[in-house]
Structure 1
Amino acid sequence: MSTDTSNLPPSKKKKSRVSVEDVSIREDENPTPTEEEEEDTPVGPSNKRKRIPKVQGNVHLTLFDTVKGNGKQIPRAVKNWVEKYEKTPQSAMVELLMMLFEVCGAKYPLTEKDLDETPVDKVVVSLVVELSEKGEVVDYLSSKQKDFKNFKVNLLSFWDNLVVECQNGPLLDKVLFEKCMDYVIELSNSPPRVFRQVASLIGLQLVTSFITVAKMLGSQRETTQRQLTTEIKKRKEGPRVDSLRKRLRMTQENIDVVEKMMDRLFKGLFMHRCRDVDPIIRMSSIQSLGVWVLSYPSLFLQYSYLKYLGWTLNDKNAGVRKCSILALQNLYEVDDNVPSLGLFTERFSNRMIELADDIDVSVSVCAIGLLKQLLRQQLLSDEDLNAPLYDLVIDEPPEIRRAIGALVNDHLIAQKFSTLKGDENDSSDVHLGKLLQILREFSTDPILITYVIIDDVWDYMKAMKDWKYIVSMLLDEEPGKDFMDVDATNLVRLLHASAKKAVGERIVPATHNRKQHYNKAQKEALNNNRRDITLAMMNNYPKLLLKFIADKDKVSPLVEIILSMNIELYSLKREEQNFEKVLQFTKEAFFKHGEKEPLRSCVKALSFCSTESQGELQDCVHTKLKELEDELITKLKSAIKQVEGGDEDYSLLVNLKRLYELHLAKFVPIETLYEEFVRFLEGNRNMNEKVVCFLLLNMFMHVSWCLRSIIEEESISQKSLDSLLSKRTTLFKQLEFFLDTHSKSGRDGSYGRQLSCRVCCILAEMWFMFRKSNYASSKLEGLGFCPDLPMVQKFWALCEQQLNSSEETEDNEVNQEYIEETNKEAIMVAASKLVASDAVPK
């Protein structure tokens, strides 16, 4: 007895050769497939005979030519062959078997005498020997020739038509199909792959077609039984009763004959081919078994058949595992099947759960769909599922996250599979409460995970679009005892993320950079969502900002909600006062916080309002921005004086960060402040390096904005050019000071890593921005600049030091603000730009 090795690791790809000495069945070897996988679902026969088209062209087509053609001639050809078989069975059977050999890619001079005298296995061995001597395989299934485009479909259709055509005659004579099955089984167990592929397809299709006949006979049996029962009630005995009993007995005998043929093919073909070395054959077998169990449960819905579906859940080929999962999905979907699936579920439910985290994404998605069916049928408990379920919610592939999102919503939030169902479970209150309970489970990296989970569930959870109710929950001054501060934070993030999602924005970074495109209907839906959000938020938005303005965890997502609103509606609804309150509270939040995220969110919100508003609303935004700039400049001047007077530098650092975030979005007029920065730098060389970083950054940003304004001017004034060159020279002087200081102090340097990285990046950007090639042969040629070689060498020495720093150093700084602007990647990109653009001497 051979050992099943279908789940062993794949071997290297080799061309298969047929050995003359070895004609044994080799289904237990399992190398890596070399053919392209494809769907092999058998053709389901029709109960009714279709209109038989007329044969066009040559009326002497062979059966092989009929299969090779366009398929329209198959019903007529099958009918003609059956008529021939009824007249000369031996000759017709030889013709049919010759066609069987030919579709396998071989030819054998079979005679009527061979049917009785030559054993089947001897004929198949001769075919294998011929194939070995010929040295090549004619594989019609994989052929790219136009003539064989529909070969597989036509082949299955031929045998299906043959079974249906013979159902009232040769099918039950225990001669024709017994001989056909002998050859089909023997060919399916032969070494040549193409023989096994074609014979397996035919054998599997025969079972599918037999099922159609058995179901028709079963329907006849039920009709006869009803007639017999009715007749017995009228009269106990009589010719009519005897006739019905005889018909019932004959119908049952015919069903038994057909089921025996199914059983023979199952044992002789399927049980071997579901472990074949070729994954395509294994997939065909499992797909067919799934169809059989679903369409003929009276025979196949038993553990002795179902266990093959369970075993192939462990197949090494992803396509085979997927076929098994899809077959099981269809079975569990039918409620009447569930009682018979008890033992199977008990044996294989753990493996089904494991497959939700399969290495293949498509298998994982299908397995999650299967788990939904098991939950719907109450075949899995929460203890079985919850632990791995939470892990999959934050899985990286978006397809898995979408599938698990649907499962989380149905099972944990909406509880569609719960035995306790009622209207109270459908309310936004209940659904949001359960979602917040899930979000509370994640303590590590809560922001990212929260947005990932919301993205997973958003499409399936209507409560997330209940903007008014979410706002009312946040404004509730007496929330329930179970509603904690972390829940309020998650609810604010949920409101922000849901609003972004509703207007077509991504809340989780995509794995690609492709722009999202929407058709007219989709754009209209997104605009309607934006309108609904605005109307729901308009009156209560200022109240939310006022309530949470001091909370750094909540203020950032809360301020950004306005990016998902329609600003124009404030004017149309005469709600200008509420709009002005929103601006005022956003400005207050800007000065109340000093962290990067709240500052950036406030600037983003004000910039959006400035761009999207019109008329009086836009004037209001510009006024608030001017007030913000003036107040910020005043605070900076005051902070500089305080530091020079001996006070702490916290206020200066925070306001420099605010200025930097504002600089990233718009031009800020700081001409007088620029000179203050220079004077302060030169007079305080030993100050906090973070303060130095932001002083240099703001000087660089100001120079960049000045350069941009000159480039965009139609007429360039000499005064503007002189001012820019002066500021540029001053900034270069400050940067060179830190380069020289590092060079003189040796490899260890006298400044921290953050300042060294900032100096490298700002210098590189300045050299790149003012490279001579940018302004050659133009009115701005005087702006061109190229550093001398000693300066470049000092720059590169500082870059080398940072690039050679240990990974441990970067790991210690990973949670610092702006780390993405001061890590090794930032330095490498900056230096690479200089080399690629020839901005510095090589």
Structure 2
Amino acid sequence: MAMDLASPEPEDGPRRGGRVRKTVERYNPPARAAEQEGEDEQDESDLSDEEPTRQPGKKRMSNGRPKKLAKPKKKDVGEEIPVEPVDGFKNDSALFNALLSPDIALQQVVDDWVETYQQTENDEVSEKASMQEMVLFFVRCCGLSANVDEDEAMDEDDIIGTIERIQDESVHRTAAVYPLVSKTKNLRPFRNNLNNLVHRLIKTLALTPCLYETSTAKGARSAAILPLLLSWLHSMSSSPLRPIRHTSTYITLKMISALAEVASEISQDLSVKQRQRDVEVQKGGKGPAALKRVKTLEEKVNEAGTKKAALDAALNDSFDTLFVHRVRDADPAIRKDCLRELGVWIKKYEEFYVTRTHLQYLSKSLNDPDAHARVEAVKAASNLFSGDQQSPGARDFLSRLAPRLVEIALRDVDLSVRVNAISLITQIDQTGMLADPQEHTQRTAEDPRQRVARLMFNHEPRIRKAIGGFVRGLYEEDVQKLQTQWAGAKQGKKKRSAAEDDIMERLRYKALAALLVGVSRSLEESDVGSSRQGAESNTMASWAKAAVESLRNDFEELQEWHKLAEYLLLDHSQNEESWLMEDDEETMMLHVLVESVKQDDSDGDDLTKTLIDVVPRLFTKHQADSDRISGILTLVKHMKLSVYAEMRKMTAYESLWDDVIKQFLQHTDEDVLKNAAAAIDHLASEDSTANTNSTKLVELEDNLFASLRETINGEEVFSMTLEDDQLITLQAILLRIKLLQKTVDISDAFESEEGGQSSVWEIVLAFAERGEVGYKAESMLVEQAIRVILFHIARLLKNLTKSEDASKLESVNVKINRAVKMYDRLALMPGNASDSVRQKAFRSFLELHTMCRTPAAAACTLTMNSEVQNRVGQSFGQIAEAFISDQGETDDSRALNENLFLKVAASFVGAVQCGVLDIDHAKDPLALFGRCGPTYDAVTKKLAEVLRDEGIYNKQADLVQHVADSALKASFTTFLEGDDEEPTATVALAKTIASSFIVHGTHFTVLRQIHPNDVCDMHRSCLDFISRRLANYHRQLKSGNRKSGLNQDHAQRKFNQCLAFFKVLVHLLGPITGTGAVSIRKEMEEIWKTTGMRPGNAKAWDSWRAYDKRLVNIASKDPNVKMMVTQKAVEDEDSAESSEHEEEATEAAEEDEVALESEASGPKSSTPLKRSRQNLSRDPVEAEEEEVEEPEEPIERSPEPFADVEMNLNVEEVEPDEGRSGKAQNGSEPKKRKVRR
């Protein structure tokens, strides 16, 4: 039914009551679209002479009140709002148009409408016009174009019928995007303006008696405004159309928020007036003046009570009619709006909404499936803390809600929900509702507060930031307990050893240390999977790092880390004072100090000045503890070393060097040595102290290499027997050399043979060669020696320049050759070397060749012949298979094995990229794609770039085809040998290889691609590969019997696995052309004929059908294929016509011969011969043809749409599922074809 956009028809006579219809000036924008001109003409026709209009000179009947002064006529609201029209939305509502302007003065708009409405007392026509304008505003806000006349706007009993009419008119034209949710530029200010307009409307009406009129006390109007508007909005909120339902619900919620604010103000005013009345009554005055005051106050109390009762009734009605239904709406946006506004109501009108009836919807909404709704529910609950004091209902509700909030904070899938839940839990905990009154001094691991506190170690930064306030509350509680204990112990002693303020400060740090250690221990003891997974690691240093990130903004104690340093420098070995820390607490706080310094963004000079005094003292105190000294060494990297020279504290600087060197030479822990090497690098890089640095480095080299020579004591390295202590010492020395090589150039001292002693190079090389013996206990020592040799050669290559003399180059080449031979024997030759040594040697072998391919090492080139490359490929395959088959017994061992294997894989891929290994060897790591984890896949994807460069830019497409083909077959063979249902790894490999076939530009345009013929060859090879396996299992299925049911199941499962290979091939059709697709399909047809298989309807064949359909689509889009098929069809037609002509000529000759014989044997008749010759004078086919309709019996077709090019099909339009219909492809009836009788 078309919607009538014109105004209602004019009435023939005056309406009831003797009043005539009042003309309402409508908003008419200055520029209307051309398509709306007809509507304008209709609107103007409504103002004809046939419609009675109000006479301006007609007097109103006196109502006993003085006549108001005439006010200057205001311009229509629409005339002051230059609004840009919005496509799809009508703009015949002045109020709606006002919402589209970002700079509109909404208060003036509201004042104009309220003033107009106030003037409608005893004027039904004006009242209807005003209400029609407001109702039309609601409809336009929904994005609808339907009209509402004045009678419909005022008819409260038929609102549902009017809404149903609007729905029927709009159901087919309602846009998916309506003003409330639209993101277009013109509608951007709509939502904010709508909020302001509704709020200002209610606040302005609250200044008049109109707002408090009810259905039973309507005043001088035919309907009370608030019940009427709410009736419209409540009815619209149950509409099945989302624009109507959502918009009306949103407007109602905003209206209730404004009403709640007004009701709260009236309630407060009522309380004040009641107190004033009670005071006046208590005075007991009997005089006329006193009685008058009491009467006046009583009237004010009654007036305020009446207003409050009217608003409370409206709020109750809206809650029961609208909120309880829409808070369960299917649309999460509506549920979110309801919960958000409920929080506003709780905050603005607490005495009305803080009841169990209203708050129950918050607790239910915490289980909402939509994360945004859960966030709003938590935020709404937090508004219960807005007041100074909480009502008993709020406390009871929050105490019941707390356990659920704890679970949300720990386990919710949405971060925003968890963050808001933590904030609310913090507020609840501050009231003491979470604390257990029976709680002991030490909180248990399952205590709710302890479980929440563990979130400070969570892996999400937002969670760690949010938990700081909660932990601060626990900390203050613990501090209070310690101070109470200290005050009790203080009474028994006459004199204290420190000032009272210092003791209080130490107690605060003691409480923080105990809290952090207690929470970290509970994390270890807890069996909660989510909390365990949330911890970054189980080391003290990582916990301290997470704690500082979480608590720094809430704890001044962590920002003033210099006080913490002074506290740590005290002697905590005594157990008499309550502020002394235990060992774990001291270790934790030391790491907290280190992390606090790292995160300090203050001036570097001030920080260094403090550390100059603190670091040496910390070295002295904690030098025996490797865990603590490791953290202290990291402080050196944060020092601005130029401050030493500026302050002329070179003695202190030399002392710092001595402390670092001492830790480097004494400790054997790898973390300590790494941090010490980093500190040495930081010290050596300072230019202002270069002389001191050089001296200290020489001293370090001498001490380090002297310790190595002293340990071997002049024995033959290769044949000497190593004791356990000697082995540990040598491992530590080689580790120190390796770490120092990375930061400092020690190559000269490394090769020095001063005093006739063997150089460190020879000693380390001999240790590396001991790996051939295969002693498992010496594996770590040999691995260190292998890497030391590699790093030394890397330093030599880095130091090479073009001006180097030939003797130095020859020396470097000699060392390289010796290292290569040693690596070859350990990694590639059969022997007794352990697996870990082989992996380390294999990796170093490849990295050494890679380094010699760089431009800097052009003078020391190193090549690898094909025989060695083959052995390298075989070794990589063995290492990979060992990694896949042996995943380790524990998580740590699996992580270690994976780390070692990934390093080997990265070295192999790098060797292929640099050209050390031929591109053909890329098939070995590619075949493992998808089987060794995401990190391995990310490394191996680099090989796809190599294939792309070789195939597209270097024109080596045949080589790329061979590598891709081999990798795919090897990967799928591995799949067939397993029990997986889907070839996930092979499909992932196919997608990666496909990226090497094409170079895409912007918008997926093809810039370059590999030649399609090479891809076709690869598909043919893959089809041959899979057809052999399919044929094998097909024979097993055909030759099976009932007794071999198990073998039949196995064969069927493997047959289905083989069919999954087409899922792989479908991703490799990118560069294929139409002719190639046709040739591949012919190849498949040949395979089916040769093997005797035919595609079936089973689900296992879906992958083949998808592959075949893709080929058809490719062919149908190729104009060459269409031309070829058309040309073939024409040739077939010509051949058929030629054959028919020959057949007709033969038949005509036979008839002539029969006629001649008849003439010779009987009466002469020229009729047969004449008829025959007449027939020959025409087309011999046309002479004997008739048009007959094709039979409607089903035509048997091949399951392949165009299995052969000779089939006369229009491949441009035929799809695999088409061609089976009895109609032609264009939907017409079947064509008639000519057939011989």
Give the TM-score normalised by structure 1. Answer: 0.83
Moved more, 622-631 or 801-810: 801-810
| 1:544-693 matched pairs, under 5 angstroms | 544-612=618-686, 614-615=688-689, 618-640=690-712, 641-642=714-715, 644-648=719-723, 649-668=727-746, 669=748, 670-671=750-751, 672-679=759-766, 681-682=768-769, 685-686=772-773, 688-693=778-783
Report the CA distance shift for 1:336/1:324 in structure 2 as closer, same or farther (over 3 A): same
CA displacement 1:48-82 (0-9 Å, x = unmatched):
xxxx9995845896333233334625333333333
Moved more, 656-665 or 536-545: 536-545
- 1:702 Cα deviation (Å)? 0.7
Corresponding residue for 2:114? 82
Name the amino acid aligned to 2:804. I
1:379 aligns to 2:433 (yes or no):
yes
Give yes or no for the alignment of 1:179 onto 2:228: yes
Deviations 1:279-311 (A, max 9, x none): 111111111111111111121122221222222
Sort the Cα spacing of 1:75 and 1:543 in 2 relative to 1 into closer, same or farther, 3 A.
closer
Q: Distance in 2 between matches of 1:368 and 1:449?
A: 20
CA RMSD of aligned residues (A): 3.1
Match for residue 62 of structure 1 among 94, 97, 102: 94
* Contact kept? 1:53, 1:72, Cα under 8 Å: no
- Which of residues 835, 838, 841 in structure 1 aligns to 2:912? 835
Aligned AA for 2:914? S
Shift of 1:388: 1.6
Aligned to 2:451: 388
- Amino acid aligned to 2:96: F
> Does the 8 A contact of 1:550 with 1:592 survive in 2?
no
Instruction: Return the letter of the residue paired with 1:131.
Output: S
Are positions 1:823 and 2:900 aligned together? yes
- Please list, as runs of the form range in 1=range in 2, the aligned pairs for 1:353-502 lying within 5 A after superposition: 353-357=406-410, 358-381=412-435, 384-412=447-475, 427-441=504-518, 442=520, 445-447=538-540, 448-464=542-558, 465-476=560-571, 478-480=573-575, 483-502=581-600
Output the CA distance in 2 between the equivalents of 1:81 and 1:573: 77
Cα deviations across residues 594-633 of structure 1 (Å, max 9, x unaligned)? 2211111111112212223623xx4333222211111211
Aligned residue for 1:298?
351
Deviation per residue, 1:369-420 (Å, 9 max, x gap) = 1111011111111665333224322211111012123321332357599998
Q: 1:107 Cα shift?
A: 4.2
Distance 1:479 1:821, change over 3 A: farther
Judge conservation of contact 2:883–2:901 (CA < 8 Å) in 1: no
Q: Is the 8 A contact 1:279 1:317 kept in 2?
A: yes
What pairs with 1:532-547 in structure 2 (closer than 5 Å)?
532=607, 534-547=608-621
Query: Is the Cα contact below 8 Å between 1:473 and 1:479 reproduced in 2?
Result: no
Distance 1:565 1:143 in 2: 55
Match of 1:261 in 2: 314
For 1:763, the equivalent position in structure 2 comes to 845
Find the aligned partners of 1:570 and 1:624 in 2 and give their Cα distance. 16
The one-character-per-residue Cα deviations of 1:756-775 (angstroms, maximum 9, x if unpaired) are 2211211121121112xx33
1:733 maps to 2:821: yes
SS of the counterpart of 2:599?
helix
Q: 1:426 to 1:679 in 2, by over 3 A?
A: closer
Structure 1: 5+ residue runs without aligned partners? 1-51, 504-524
What SS class does the counterpart of residue 751 from structure 1 fall into?
A: coil
Quick one: structure 1 residues 239 and 434, their matched pair in 2 at CA, closer, same or farther if it must change by over 3 Å? closer
Deviation at 1:364, TM superposition (A): 0.9
The residue aligned with 2:869 is: 792
Q: Which residue of 2 aligns with 1:111?
A: 149
1:348 aligned residue:
401
Give 2:805's match in structure 1, choosing from 709, 717, 725. Answer: 717
Of the two structures, which has the highest relative contact order with CA contacts closer than 8 Å and spacing of 6 or more? 1
Offset of residue 538 of structure 1: 2.8
CA distance change for structure 1 residues 109 and 548 in 2, over 3 Å: closer, same or farther?
closer
Corresponding residue number in structure 2 for 1:21: none
Identity percentage of aligned residues: 21
Mapped contact 1:440–1:486 kept (Cα < 8 A): yes
Cα 1:698/1:369, change in 2 over 3 Å: same
Measured in 1, the distance between the counterparts of 2:359 and 2:703 equals 76
Equivalent position of 2:62 in the other structure: none
Cα shift at 1:682: 4.9
Cα offset, 1:131, TM superposition: 2.4
Report what 1:130 is aligned to.
Answer: 169
The Cα of 1:704 is off from its aligned counterpart by 0.3
Distance change >3 Å, CA 116–CA 703, structure 1 → 2: closer
Kindly tell me: are residues 57 and 817 of structure 1, through their superposed partners in 2, closer, same or farther at Cα, counting changes over 3 Å? closer
Alignment of 1:114-263 (within 5 A): 114=152, 115-116=154-155, 119-134=158-173, 136-137=175-176, 139-167=178-206, 168-174=208-214, 175-225=224-274, 227-229=276-278, 231-232=280-281, 233=283, 235-236=285-286, 237-263=290-316
- SS, match of residue 238 in structure 1: helix
Q: Distance in 1 between matches of 2:416 and 2:264?
A: 34
Cα separation, partners in 2 of 1:150 and 1:813, compared to 1, 3 Å: closer
The one-letter amino acid of 1:302's match is T
Q: Is the 8 A contact 2:93 2:140 kept in 1?
A: no
Uncovered stretches (5+) of structure 2, i.e. residues with no partner:
1-73, 82-91, 121-125, 215-223, 437-442, 488-499, 525-537, 752-758, 920-1237
3-state SS of 2:882 partner: coil
8 Å Cα contact 1:770-1:785 kept in structure 2 = yes
Does the CA-based 8 Å contact 1:104-1:139 persist in structure 2? yes
The offset of 1:227, in angstroms, is 4.8
Larger Rg belongs to: 2
1:699 maps onto 2:789 in alignment? yes
Change (3 A) 1:736 1:814: farther
Distance 2:333 2:762 in 1: 76
SS in 1 for 2:239: coil
How much does 1:217 deviate? 2.8
Conserved 8 A contact 1:217-1:251: yes
C-alpha distance in 2 between matches for 1:53 and 1:589: 88
1:470 Cα deviation after fit: 2.9
Matches of 1:134 and 1:681, distance apart in 2: 82
CA distance in 2, matches of 1:689, 1:761: 15
> Which deviates more from structure 2 when the two are superposed, residues 674-683 or residues 719-728?
674-683
Moved more, 351-360 or 87-96: 87-96
Amino acid at match of 2:574: P
Asked if structure 2 preserves the Cα contact closer than 8 Å seen for 1:106 and 1:138, the reply is no
The normalised TM-score by structure 2 is 0.57
Equivalent residues of 2:568, 2:590 under 8 A apart: no
1:200 CA displacement: 0.8
Query: How far is the alpha carbon of 1:562 from its aligned partner?
Result: 1.7
